[in-house]
Amino acid sequence: MSVTDELLQNAERYAADFDKGHLPIVPDRHVAIVTCMDARVNPFAIFGLHEGDAHIIRNAGGIVTDDVLRSLAVSQRLLGTEEIIIVHHVDCGIRKFDNSEFLDQIEEESGLRPPWGSDAFPTLADDVRQSVARVHASPFLPRKHSVRGFVYDEKTGRLLET
């Protein structure tokens, strides 16, 4: 049995006990959280969130890319979120490799160089500040009064504001 099949058995159990069919599409807490895809980062648990509370946007690094700006534009303009929380984390995969070497390796194997990269700045705090700055610089987001950036430490479970 594949892992996917095992997870689908869990999903059947979730559906059997499901009691959240009444929740509206607009997030109850009017907040969007941007964070890394890392398996150890559980934004529901960290922030005490439940189904219906918040938009959660995740990619490799929790970097504010164009696709994250698209998601935030949908979140704010169509679904009424007001605040943005950005969380990067200490032991992040994308800070463990050289971006150029990663792209070189893919190019060698596939014959094509990807149109994207995973840019990392000198320090983790710089990464977070760059992502916060990209939100502020975007002409497409109407609400920027609360855009806050954090570093999560997966060894201690603590958040540090940058």
Chain residues 121-150 in contact with a copy of itself, contact rule CB under 8 A: 139-140, 142, 146, 148
Which residue, 2 or 100, is less far from a copy of itself as judged by CB? 2
In the complex with a copy of itself, which residue's Cβ is closer, 133 or 137?
137
Helix, strand, coil percent values for the chain (each to nearest 5): 35, 20, 45
Question: Which of 58, 43, 62, 33 has its CA nearest to residue 127?
Answer: 62
* Number of residues binding to a copy of itself, judged by CB under 8 A: 89
Phi, psi of 144 (to 5 degrees): -130, 20
Footprint of a copy of itself on 66-105 (CB under 8 A): 66-71, 73-75, 77-79, 82-83, 85, 91, 93-94, 96-97, 102, 105
Which tokens sit at 80?
A: 């009424």
For a copy of itself, give the closer residue by CB, 122 or 156: 156
119 binds a copy of itself (CB under 8 A): no
